[in-house]
Amino acid sequence: MTRLTDHYKLVRERNDYRPVTGAVGPIPTAQRRRFVAADDPGVFDRATDRRTLVTTGVGMTGPPHLGTVGQILTAVELQRAGLDVQFVIADLEPYHNGAPLERVQSLAERYREFIRDLGFDPEQGRLRTQSEARDVMQTAQLLAPYYDPDSWDDGEDADHSRTAWERAVSDAYEATDGEWTVEHSGPTSEAARTHSAVLHGVDFLHPLYAGEYEQLVLSFGIDEHHLARMARRFRDAAPVEGGVAGLYTRMLPGFDGAPKMAKSIPGSGVSLDMSPETIRERIDGDEGGDPAGSPVFQSMCLASRDDAERLDEFEAACEAGGAEWERAKEEYAEYVVDLGEQWQATGE
């Protein structure tokens, strides 16, 4: 499968993003495998003169899968590089879509514990839910008059057709019932959805609005690169000053030919609520051959603690197949099983 790598190339070309081939500011070359694009590689060079915050987060649609783990570990590595990092657990987003608040908040606390277990230090950064950040909610109310729903539109991408990977993802989602893994049985409304969108943008902009930072770097999977553009448009319309840049991680191709590892595409991924036997079986089923299309190798690049040099060895093993790849898969499977045990322990 090469559609995902082609997607990276097209997104970079269309938006004038730079590939990440080495160090980016204080982020060492050893971490280059996590990232596929940066829209302003020099942003960290200015960090010595301008207070800079990196912000990221996760949605609350169910237990973590390997893509979620990758976002958490990326935040940990950014923090270890000496950067100020904010990690937002988006608990109000599913609530606004009808998920029971108590269930969402319970899941959010499990995420908080798991994120800390993986090495994120809340004493050296910000680890918060949406529902506890009353100051951000206040800013959302103050900035709401400046919010334009069209700020979420693709903008510069509107003149381009979707990439083959984007079409494949859309088809995969349409083939499902669009079910959430967190039950959505409560009330919702258009007002709730609009409030959720405003809060999403203000989760990013509040540190700039409050004057705490002068630069903001959004770190997400490249499929969400539009969030940086949305944040810039919202900033430009509102009384907010400061730079907004994006640093984008790789996506994970799904198992069984799925274009993306996603909670809502059945059979596409490895979820940490799976049994050890299921995790091992799914990872062992990746025969390798094409590192770009291998769900296991791509997961190793994002959802592991291996450095770029070690991942170069795994890439060669994946391409060659055979005993070295079998050993690499077995090692990774045990690592993911341990992650699963950590996650499941948060619910005990």
What are the DSSP calls for 214-276, one per residue?
A: SEEEEEEEGGGTHHHHHHHHHHHHTT--SEEEEEEEPP-PPGGG-SS--TTSTTSS-BTTS-H
Q: Average of pLDDT values for 25-36?
A: 96
Q: Which domains occur in the chain, in start order? A: 3-249 (3.40.50.620), 269-345 (no CATH)
For residues 317-332, give the mean pLDDT: 97
pLDDT tens, residue by residue, 269-321? 999 999 999 999 999 999 999 999 999 999 999 999 999 999 999 999 999 99
Among 98-102, 106-110, 333-337, whose mean pLDDT is lowest?
Answer: 98-102
pLDDT of residue 93: 92
Q: What is the pLDDT of residue 154?
A: 59
- Please give the full DSSP string across 127-173, using - where no structure is assigned: EEESTT-HHHHHHHHHHGGG--GGGGS-GGGTTSPPPHHHHHHHHHH
In this prediction, residue 184 carries a pLDDT of 64
Average pLDDT of the residues in 15-34: 96
Question: Does pLDDT of 263 surpass 90?
Answer: no
pTM above 0.75, yes or no: yes
Residue 159 has pLDDT above 70, yes or no: no
What percentage of the chain exceeds 70 in pLDDT?
Answer: 95
Contacts of 73 (CB under 8 A, 6+ apart): 118, 119, 302, 303, 304, 305
Angle among Cα 51, 54, 57 to the nearest 5 degrees reads 150
Q: What pLDDT is stored for residue 180 in this prediction?
A: 46
Q: Is the per-residue pLDDT at 226 higher than 50?
A: yes
Share of the chain above pLDDT 90, in %: 80
pLDDT at 174: 84
Q: Specify whether the CB–CB gap between 111 and 58 falls below 8 A.
A: yes
d(CA 53, CA 246): 11
Instruction: State residue 157's pLDDT score.
Output: 52
pLDDT of residue 182: 52
